[in-house]
């Protein structure tokens, strides 16, 4: 086994799932911190010190066992999540001590994982980017916009949840493709940031402005591509403003995150304006990135080039301290964060 010169840890702290937040908002009491012995890596494994953790709305669904693409979780199991770790000890020929790797570390300060489940952080970029625009966030924005939304130069692209990690990247990709990009988010400061820092053409503050009237002003010819991260009333209003041949991309559903799908009274009703798809010959499609594996390599190549050229920027909201992991995830659901939510351990 190859190791660094430092003494290897024998214990680690980890956050466990303490409750399932079905039909309600996520709470700090849904997590429990414990300290446990740390096993030594076996053949083909590496010991990692966690440097960064990534936070995404889908993690609430993982806690509820509602994310069909994720492994089921149990009460008392380690909270799942992607992270960046530094190799402290290795029994794999693939990675030497000191390497920075990305993978399913979970909410642990130290983790022992099979090397086959990990991949190196791209060279020449900040590790935090590997969890954002050069990770699942960027892939989601790229695949959803370019392969589902299929924008053309001159299209009007509207994005809900535009100040979040995926929405902010999707808007910048659309701008690079020659779209007129309009973001929908909550708060004047977020709106100003989208326009001033990320190059959006306009932004609508749904908290203080009337969405339908603002869409009429900003999209007189209708919406060509709607990239939706919210659902609910915002989706309904945008469906009423579609252009002929529009494409609606269903990426997220913030409006339903606190609903229990087993209780119909909690689930937001379907959009009343869905029949606009018929009148405008439009389409509405959902997606998951693993359905587009053949496009991942090209997506990462293009995203990396855009980041290195400065054509795409990553807005980051970084919380520090492993003990603050639950607080970092809660920020996503309170709308406090701007851009990619991370924790620096």
Query: What is the Cα–Cα distance from 302 to 202, expressed in whole angstroms?
Result: 25
The domain covering 136-307 belongs, at the CATH homologous superfamily level, to NAD(P)-binding Rossmann-like Domain (3.40.50.720)
Equal CATH topology for 2-130+315-344 and 136-307: no
Q: At what angle do helices 296-309 and 165-176 cross, to 10 degrees?
A: 80
Domain with residues 2-130+315-344, CATH architecture? Alpha-Beta Complex (3.90)
Question: Under DSSP, is residue 67 helix (H, G, I), strand (E, B) or coil?
Answer: coil
Residue 257: its pLDDT value, please? 80
pLDDT digits (tens, 9 = 90+) for 179-226: 999 999 999 999 999 999 999 999 999 999 999 999 999 999 999 999
pLDDT score of 4 more than 70: no
pLDDT at 256 (0 to 100): 83
Residue-wise pLDDT tens digits, 283-293: 999 999 999 99
| Tokens (6 digits) for 30 | 């849904």
CB neighbours of residue 324 within 10 Å: 15
The region of weakest confidence among 67-71, 137-141, 331-335 is: 67-71
Q: What is the mean pLDDT of residues 161-169?
A: 96
**Distance from C-alpha of 94 to C-alpha of 258, rounded to nearest angstrom:** 42
Q: Residue ranges per domain, the chain? A: 2-130+315-344, 136-307
């Amino acid at each position: 086994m190859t190791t660094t010169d430092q003494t290897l840890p024998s214990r680690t702290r980890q956050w466990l799932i303490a409750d399932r937040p079905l039909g309600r908002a996520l709470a700090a009491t849904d997590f429990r911190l414990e300290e446990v012995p740390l096993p030594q890596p076996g053949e083909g494994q590496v010991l990692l010190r966690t440097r960064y953790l990534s936070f995404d709305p889908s993690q609430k669904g993982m806690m509820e066992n509602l994310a069909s693409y994720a492994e089921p979780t149990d009460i008392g199991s380690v909270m799942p999540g992607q992270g960046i770790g530094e190799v402290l000890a290795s029994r794999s020929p693939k990675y030497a001590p000191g390497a920075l790797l990305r993978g399913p570390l979970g909410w642990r300060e130290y983790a022992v994982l099979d090397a086959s489940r990990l991949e190196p952080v791209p060279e020449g970029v900040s590790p935090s980017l590997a969890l954002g625009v050069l990770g699942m966030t960027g892939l989601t924005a790229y695949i959803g916009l370019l392969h589902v939304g299929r924008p053309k130069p001159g299209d009007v692209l509207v994005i809900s949840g535009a100040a979040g990690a995926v929405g902010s990247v999707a808007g910048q990709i659309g701008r690079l493709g020659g779209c007129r990009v309009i973001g929908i988010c909550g708060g004047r400061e977020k709106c100003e940031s989208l326009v001033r820092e990320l190059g959006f053409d306009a932004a609508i503050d749904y908290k203080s402005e009337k969405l339908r009237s603002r869409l009429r002003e900003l999209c007189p010819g209708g919406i060509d591509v709607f990239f939706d991260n919210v659902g609910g009333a915002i989706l309904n209003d945008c469906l009423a403003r579609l252009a002929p041949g529009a494409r609606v991309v269903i990426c997220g559903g913030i409006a339903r995150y606190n609903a229990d799908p087993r209780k119909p009274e909690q689930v937001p009703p379907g959009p009343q304006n869905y029949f606009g798809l018929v009148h405008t010959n439009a389409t509405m499609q959902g997606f998951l990135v693993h359905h587009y594996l053949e496009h991942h390599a090209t997506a990462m190549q293009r995203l990396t080039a855009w980041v290195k050229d400065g054509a795409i920027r990553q807005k980051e909201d970084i919380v520090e301290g492993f003990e603050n992991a639950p607080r970092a995830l809660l920020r996503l659901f309170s709308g406090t964060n701007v851009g990619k939510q991370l924790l620096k351990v």
